[in-house]
A and B are shown apart, each in its own frame.
Chain A
């Protein structure tokens, strides 16, 4: 190793990070998830709940329509039977 290489070894000697480096790494390791993540999760839950509610309302409305049609159908059958009876 010549004089320049010896100088380089000294010039590039290892540097230590600031005091408390280990503690800062440990703190980052146990850090809570960022706030934006909680907000994003809340938005996704809200959107999901909204869609589920819309689907539920759609199902209820469909059942109501079907019930109404069944009622209307039975009334129509009764009226048709009465009309047939009066003709005979």
Chain B
């Protein structure tokens, strides 16, 4: 869960693993503050989210790929196609930090907006807005590439 959040957010396997290790070392240092297994899960997600956002900000000086620059596939992928999965991951990677993390927590971790708001430390309304806008944007980009419902 920790590695996966970091990997989907940063798209850098080496960095994701290093940060995931940091998160578990940090958990070890803070074991005395953990009360239950559920608390440990919440704590791990929260720290992973913070580390991911911090790491993304640190490397933000590097040129980022914009949504318009994501290469169009030579063959249009259909729903259920692994190529569509790859296209979605690349499109999500181009979202701003907040919406990107909200989408990862929603669809990877299957968290509801209230849980996402608590984990990210942002208002519930902002989370709902991030998810709705991101879905609309993805739908629009996919339709422009000729990808839609079967």
**Bound-complex Cα distance A4 to B3 (A):** 24
Interface string of B44-60 (1 = CB under 8 A from A): 00000000000000000
When chains A and B are docked, how far (Å) is the Cα of A6 from the Cα of B28?
36
Q: Given A4-B135, A5-B135, A7-B79, verify A12-B21 contact (CB < 8 Å).
A: no
Report if A32 contacts B (CB, 8 A).
no
> How many Å lie between the Cα of A24 and that of B24 in the bound state?
11
Chain B residue contacts of A10, Cβ below 8 A: 85
Interface residues on A, range: 20 to 34
Among B101-109, B113-121, B122-130, the one that faces the other chain is: B101-109
Contact A29 B28 (CB under 8 A): yes
Known contacts A16-B3, A29-B25, A7 near B8 by CB under 8 Å: no
Chain A residues 1-31 with CB under 8 Å of chain B are 2-5, 7-18, 21, 24-25, 28-29
* B1 proximal to A (CB < 8 A): yes
Known pairs A4-B142, A5-B135, A10-B85; A17 contacts B108 (CB<8 A): no
**A21 adjacent to B79 (CB under 8 Å):** no
Cα-based distance from A9 to B139 in the complex (angstroms): 15
Chain A residues, Cβ within 8 Å of B149: 2-3
Q: Is the Cβ of A24 less than 8 Å from the Cβ of B107?
A: no
- Is there an interface contact between A18 and B88, defined as CB atoms closer than 8 Å? no
Interface assignment of B89: CB less than 8 Å from any CB of chain A = yes
Is there contact, CB below 8 Å, between A5 and B107?
yes
Contacts of A17 in B (CB 8 A): 3, 16-17, 20
- A25–B28 Cα gap in the complex (Å)? 10
What chain B residues lie within 8 Å of A14 (beta carbons)?
1, 4, 108
Q: Which 8 A-B pairs have the closest CB atoms?
A: A11-B85, A11-B88, A12-B108, A17-B3, A8-B107, A14-B4, A12-B107, A15-B4
Interface residues, chain B, with chain A CB atoms under 8 Å away: 1, 3-4, 7-8, 13, 16-17, 20-21, 24-25, 28, 79-80, 84-86, 88-89, 92, 103-104, 107-108, 110, 135, 138-139, 142, 149-150
